[in-house]
Amino acid sequence: MTEPAIRVEGLRYRYPDGRVALDGVDLSIAAGERVAILGPNGAGKTTLMLHLNGVLTATSGAVEISGIALTRKTLRDIRRRVGLVFQDPDDQLFMPTVAQDVAFGPANFGVTGDELAARVAAALDVVSMTEHAERSPAHLSGGQRRRAALATVLACEPEILVLDEPSANLDPVARRELAETLTTLPATMLVVTHDLPYAAQLCDRAIVLDHGAVVADDAITAVLSDSELLAAHRLELPWGFTVPVR
């Protein structure tokens, strides 16, 4: 039987100020699934995301990636397998050129020479940023910077992509272009977002978090069609949006 791409069991996390951010989260995500993580502000979505490759360490509970328990000994391997794309591209773009930013991650994992150059070229090609390779990230548009940040993660060839609010602050064209890119990727994907239409466009399943716990886990069409569930957890579809039929 194939191990799930992500297994989280009894995950709890308390911030140093005493606030409980995760309160016994259990979930299992199969390889190749695209899952939206939904919930109001403060629900624990980003905190959960930061546990999946060890940025944060759980107070208790367990995280497994492709059957490998997340521990200090496995941290490097887990981080190679799980790529985080943060909400603010500036968290991932800090080198003089886009190409150097894209090379930074795989180089840290020991990739060099022709293989490194090939990875950079392939990642830039996937996000349609090849022509911007030698530009400064500071001179890119918001959508271009978002795609460049995605390329920095893709160059590491992760099995799992975790994206935090990928559509935030994008104009309609950049939003569509990013969605088109994401739908072509074979990786298991978690999309942490408040943007319910974008979640519906990218994902088939939705998990709703609130107060650090899973309160719903179902097909995304079922979750978005449940007006009482959405209202109870401060989620709202935009005016005129119709839940797609699949």
Q: Is the predicted pLDDT of residue 28 greater than 90, yes or no? A: yes
Residue 20 carries which DSSP code?
A: E
**44: helix, strand or coil:** coil
Domain 6-232 top-level CATH class: alpha beta
How many CA within 13 A on the CB side of residue 225?
Answer: 10
Taken in order 237, 238, 240, 242, the sign of the CA dihedral is negative
pLDDT band at residue 26 using 50, 70 and 90 as cut-offs: very high
- pLDDT of 52 > 70? The answer is yes
Looking at residue 82, its pLDDT comes to 96
Q: What is the mean pLDDT of the chain?
A: 93
Could you read off the pLDDT of 235-246 as tens digits, one per residue? 999 888 888 776
pLDDT digits (tens, 9 = 90+) for 66-90: 999 999 999 999 999 999 999 888 8
Say if CB 5 and CB 33 are below 8 A apart.
yes
Q: What is the mean pLDDT of residues 217-243?
A: 93
Whole-model pTM over 0.85:
yes
Q: How many CA atoms lie within 13 A of 89 on its CB side?
A: 26
Residue 1 binned pLDDT confidence (cut-offs 50, 70, 90): low
Task: Find the mean pLDDT for residues 180-207.
Answer: 93
| Largest separation between any pair of C-alpha atoms in the chain | 55
The residue-averaged pLDDT of 156-162 equals: 95
The predicted structure's pLDDT at residue 171: 85
The domains of the chain are located at 6-232
pLDDT of 243 = 82
* Cα three-residue angle 132-133-138, rounded to 5 degrees: 65
